[in-house]
Structures are given as C-alpha cells and as structure tokens.
A and B are shown apart, each in its own frame.
Chain A
Amino acid sequence: AQKVTQAQTEISVVEKEDVTLDCVYETRDTTYYLFWYKQPPSGELVFLIRRNSFDEQNEISGRYSWNFQKSTSSFNFTITASQVVDSAVYFCALSGGRTGNQFYFGTGTSLTVIP
C-alpha cells in the first residue's frame, strides 16, 4: 500500500524568505512516481512536477526546486524568495508500479506568505 506523509500542516513565512515543504513516502513498488501539486485558494489543483523512482536528480524551475532522496524516502520542495502568490496548499502524491496505480495524496501543507 502507498502512503505519503506531509508532517507540516501549516507554515507561515515572510515574503522573500525561503521555505521547504517536506514529503516522506512509503511504497513496496520498485517503480513509482512522485508528484507535487499546488491548490491555490481558488481550489483547482495545479501540477508542479513529476519524478520517477529511477531519477534522483534534483530539479530547479525558477524559484522552485525539488530534492528527491530514495535513501530517506523523501521528496522535498523548496521555494526560494517566497512571494504572496505562493500562498496555497501544496500536496505531495505517489503512484506505484510501472503504470502508476493506487494514486495517493498526502494531507497537504498550507503555506501562507506574509507580505
């Protein structure tokens, strides 16, 4: 069975601070996929990144970066120089097997960026 833990329920930072959102996962599959989604106050989930279990390379996209470490079963997300528009709930998610079944979302981290 899949499991995703996002231990940080709520985080508040002041604008321009860096913030890291933690994600720890459990799976018995050797092939699996990890995702991050953003849910702004408007409610619609927005895809941010996808990683497969064989690619541990860290990724940077603008102010966003992701650190995938299989040794600690973690897939953490860092926002550099946070902005008010980053305020949202962020979900980490996992799907298992070659074709990505049993999709499982974490409980989310609510990020508030204070101007």
Chain B
Amino acid sequence: EAGVAQSPRYKIIEKRQSVAFWCNPISGHATLYWYQQILGQGPKLLIQFQNNGVVDDSQLPKDRFSAERLKGVDSTLKIQPAKLEDSAVYLCASSLFDGSYEQYFGPGTRLTVT
C-alpha cells in the first residue's frame, strides 16, 4: 500500500513570494491533515479535512494560508505572501475515517523563507 505522498520535498523562496504544497493521501482515507512543524517543536495542526469538507481550521492563518481538498482526495496548501516565520516543515497526514483513528504521515516539505 502506497503511503502519503508530498511534493516538493524542499523549497526555498524569498519573503513575500507565494508557494504551494501538494499532498496525495493513502487511497481510501477520508481525513486529511496539514501540519506545520517548526524546528524543535511538535507538529501544529493547520487544517483538517474530512472528505472535502473542513473539520478544523482554527489554527490556520487565513490571511496568508489557504488549503483545498479536490474531490476529497488530493490537497494543496498555499502560502501567499510568505514570511520569514513560515520557515518550517509542512507535514501532510491521512487517517482512514476521522480524527479518532491513527494518522499516517508523509515525508514533509521543508520550506525555507529568506
């Protein structure tokens, strides 16, 4: 069974530029998550989708971050414009049904904003 796929793996941009990350969850998984993990910290949930509806986006900085889940499968996370403090690893995860189930994580995208 294929795992969670993410691309790109690394991205370097200048502040005020925009960037997008892509995630393909495990086939059949209903719930998809995006996390931000700053070096030395635990992952922070940005947004949780169940199928193509948003379950929780309370910690998503909506003035600059946006996310969508197309047809309840793939998802993209966008930052526009980026700030220096957005430098982090962006993790995508999926779970079979809802947040009560274990999550499976992708390899992450390491974003550096200069």
Q: Please, which residue of chain A has its CB at the minimum distance from the CB of B107?
A: A44
Instruction: Check: A64 CB closer than 8 A to any chain B CB.
Output: no
| Chain A contact residue count (CB 8 A cutoff) | 25
**Residues A106 and B100 in contact in the complex (CB < 8 Å), given A43-B89, A44-B108, A45-B91:** no
Question: Restricting to B31-63, which residues have a CB under 8 Å from any CB of A?
Answer: 33, 35, 41-45, 48, 55-56, 58
- Cβ A105 vs Cβ B48 within 8 A: no
Most buried by A among B35, B98, B107, B108: B98
Q: How far is the CA of A43 from the CA of B89 in the complex (A)?
A: 10
Contact of B100 among A37, A98, A108 (CB under 8 A): A98
Q: How far is the CA of A101 from the CA of B50 in the complex (A)?
A: 11
Q: How far is the CB of B62 from chain A (nearest CB, A)?
A: 17
Instruction: Check: A75 CB closer than 8 A to any chain B CB.
Output: no
- Cβ A43 vs Cβ B107 within 8 A: yes
Q: How far is the CB of B22 from chain A (nearest CB, A)?
A: 17
Instruction: Check: B72 CB closer than 8 A to any chain A CB.
Output: no
- Cβ B102 vs Cβ A95 within 8 A: no
Q: How far is the CB of A17 from chain B (nearest CB, A)?
A: 25
Q: How far is the CA of A46 from the CA of B104 in the complex (A)?
A: 7
Q: How far is the CB of B47 from chain A (nearest CB, A)?
A: 11
Instruction: Check: B105 CB closer than 8 A to any chain A CB.
Output: yes
Task: Kindly list chain A residues whose C-beta atoms are within 8 Å of the C-beta of B100.
Answer: 33, 52, 95, 98-100
- Cβ A47 vs Cβ B103 within 8 A: yes
- Cβ B101 vs Cβ A50 within 8 A: yes
Contact of B99 among A95, A105, A107 (CB under 8 A): A95
Q: Please name 7 further chain A to chain B contacts, defined as beta carbons within 8 Å, in addition to the given A44-B106, A99-B55, A103-B48, sorted by A numbering.
A: A33-B99, A35-B102, A43-B108, A45-B43, A46-B105, A101-B56, A106-B42
A residues bordering B, Cβ < 8 Å?
A: 33, 35, 37, 43-47, 50, 52, 91, 93, 95, 97-108
